[in-house]
Amino acid sequence: MSVKILAVGDVCGEPGLKFLENRLKGFKKENDIAFTVVNGENANVVGVTPKQADAIFRAGADVITLGNHTWTRTELQPYLEERRRILRPANFAPQCPGRGIDVYSTDFGDVCVLNLMGRFTLDSNTDNPFAIADGFMEEIKEKIILVDFHAEGTSEKRAMGYLLDGRASAVWGTHTHVQTSDACVLPKGTGYISDLGMTGAVHSVLGIDPEQSIGKFMGDPPRRYESAKGPAKLEGCIFEIDTDTGRCLKAEGIRLI
């Protein structure tokens, strides 16, 4: 038996959240999606509020993953403790609120989801994600293991993919908001894509108003990011997983406009 698992790229601001609310459930039904993981760390443009996380769950997410903006909204911290279905990177310090890995019961068996964050250019005080991932793989008993690696460099992401090849069912990258064209099944059976892309405004710079982004590069004074207006899109990847072995049979990048 095989099931389809959907990973959705970073939800960016109100355009991305509204698009997710309007399209995700219908897409899941049409494509027989059994489990969905959504990266929600930019739902508030920078960070995510509990209200926005609730909206992502109502839209059809089974699990929400986060990244380098986890702590931007301080009101999220108690929410992370209260909700098992939202994960922050597991390589944050152990005293941080919430969890970075958990196991979820489904009709087709237990699913383990792991959230990690890279260190290249993110300037974050985190443990080594490769050592953390390697250690977890020795302990996880579930056959289906999904990993969201929130990282900047494609080299760092691909290295993680190969580290976990044959050990995780699927490894995908988030954070850079630009979908890569390398969706594949790695040699030992792990589904992989370097970046899912994003769920947000089509005519934007990573979800942000283009004029504001240009101004930043021109040297304008810093100000709060604003979502771009206009039509939106959803990007991600569908992984077909064999439930008996946990191996990925197929990986396909998707884009809805």
Q: Are 105 and 78 in contact (CB under 8 A)?
A: no
Q: What residues form DSSP beta bridges with 155?
A: none
Contacts of 30 (CB under 8 A, 6+ apart): none
Would you give the DSSP letter of residue 70?
A: T
DSSP string, 191-251: EEES---EEEESSSBTTB-HHHHHHHHHTPPP----BPPS-EEEEEEEEEEETTT--EEEE
Number of CB atoms found within 10 A of residue 195's CB: 26
Compute the distance between CA of residue 80 and CA of residue 86 in angstroms, rounded to an integer. 6
Question: For residue 235, what are its two tokens?
Answer: 């990007």
Note if 69 is an active site residue: yes
Nearest to 11 by CA among 51, 50, 38: 38
Note down pLDDT in tens along the chain; length 257 residues: 999 999 999 999 999 999 999 999 999 999 999 999 999 999 999 999 999 999 999 999 999 999 999 999 999 999 999 999 999 999 999 999 999 999 999 999 999 999 999 999 886 789 999 999 999 999 999 999 999 999 999 999 999 999 999 999 999 999 999 999 999 999 999 999 999 999 999 999 999 999 999 999 999 998 989 999 999 999 999 999 999 999 999 999 999 99
E-strand stretches of the chain: 2-8, 10-11, 33-39, 63-65, 86-87, 101-104, 111-117, 144-150, 170-174, 184-185, 191-193, 198-201, 232-242, 248-256
Fold adopted by 2-203+231-256:
Purple Acid Phosphatase; chain A, domain 2 (3.60.21)
Compute the distance between CA of residue 201 and CA of residue 233 in angstroms, rounded to an integer. 6
Enter the pTM of the model: 0.97
Q: Are 147 and 167 in contact (CB under 8 A)?
A: no
Q: What are φ and ψ of residue 156, in 5° steps? A: -65, -40
- Domains of the chain, residue spans: 2-203+231-256
Question: Of residues 69, 150, 175, 177, which has the active-site annotation?
Answer: 69
